[in-house]
Amino acid sequence: MSWTALGEQLKQGPLDVIVPLGALEQHGPHLPLDTDALIAEAVSDRAAQTAGECMVAPIIPVGASHHHLAFPGTASLSDGTLRSVMVEVIQTLLSHGFRGAYLVTGHAGNVGAMAAVMAELDPTERSRVVSFDDWPAQRDAVHRVAEDQLGLDRELVGTHGGHFETSIMLAIAPDRVDMASAVAGHIGPAASASAKLRSEGMAALSPVGIIGDPRQATADAGESYLDALVDLVVEGIEAHRHRSMQRVAP
């Protein structure tokens, strides 16, 4: 889209913007380094279509991935750098007339910087921004789908490079998935896995870079996982719009 086309669209009525956040990091031997970016874009695109009056900005492709640096190809930004990038992107987008801005991440490592963004904004800006940084809520939504709809154990489904991310990739970019190279990774409770990941890094938790077992992943399961993630974002957008309308009501 050109700047002139966007300018005309902004004149036609209220328009929100989703800013997706990705990562450039390993996802096991079977998934590409930009997996989180592709998933964040897919969730953002579908949420924007469902919510309406919303567009998606180009993704911020590199995130906070220091816990994956033992694996070749991983690139990482510090939390401070990532926070500054997000703040400046949001401020400039709001200055052009977007009604609201929504941060959506495909990578759990970004949530600390996302939460800190709000403190950097002035009160008026803050009232127009939502950061979807409740990663446990997103993980639990996916695991509920696994248990209730697919009959799968959440520890086998896992998180990073496991059944749910692999299934989503099979749904949105099957040509980027090498299922012949898929192997099981760390299997165990998500909370303890996350704690070890943060303290010791992924290589100490899973030498293959996977949490969960991706070998039974399917595109159909990926669509179900995507639906759950999109629903969370759409619900958040609609709730924020409702609050905003209440603030301006006479």
Residue 210 resides in a domain: yes
Give me the domain span that covers residue 215. Answer: 11-231
In this model, does residue 247 exceed pLDDT 80?
Answer: no
Mean pLDDT of the chain: 95
Give the pLDDT confidence of 166-214 residue by residue, as tens digits.
999 999 999 999 999 999 999 998 878 888 998 999 999 999 999 999 9
Residue 61 resides in a domain: yes
Number of domains in the chain: 1
Three-state SS string over 115-163 comes to HHHHHHCCHHHHCCEEEECCHHHHHHHHHHHHHHHCCCCHHHHCCCCCH
**Which CATH number does the domain housing residue 90 bear?**
3.40.50.10310
CA distance 39 to 91: 25
Number of neighbouring beta carbons within 10 Å of residue 72: 7
Residue 245 resides in a domain: no
- Tell me what the mean pLDDT of segment 30-45 comes to: 99
Residue 142 resides in a domain: yes
Residue 30 resides in a domain: yes
Residue 4 resides in a domain: no
Residue 250 resides in a domain: no
Q: Give residue 127's pLDDT.
A: 95
What is the β-pairing status of strands 16-21 and 101-105?
A: parallel
Confidence band for 244, pLDDT divided at 50, 70 and 90 = confident
- Tell me what the mean pLDDT of segment 240-247 comes to: 84
Residue 200 resides in a domain: yes
Q: Do 20 and 57 contact (CB within 8 A), yes or no?
A: yes
Q: Give residue 248's pLDDT.
A: 58
Structure pTM?
0.95
Q: Do 19 and 60 contact (CB within 8 A), yes or no?
A: yes
- Tell me what the mean pLDDT of segment 110-131 comes to: 95
- Tell me what the mean pLDDT of segment 156-160 comes to: 91
Q: Do 24 and 37 contact (CB within 8 A), yes or no?
A: yes
In this model, does residue 99 exceed pLDDT 60?
Answer: yes
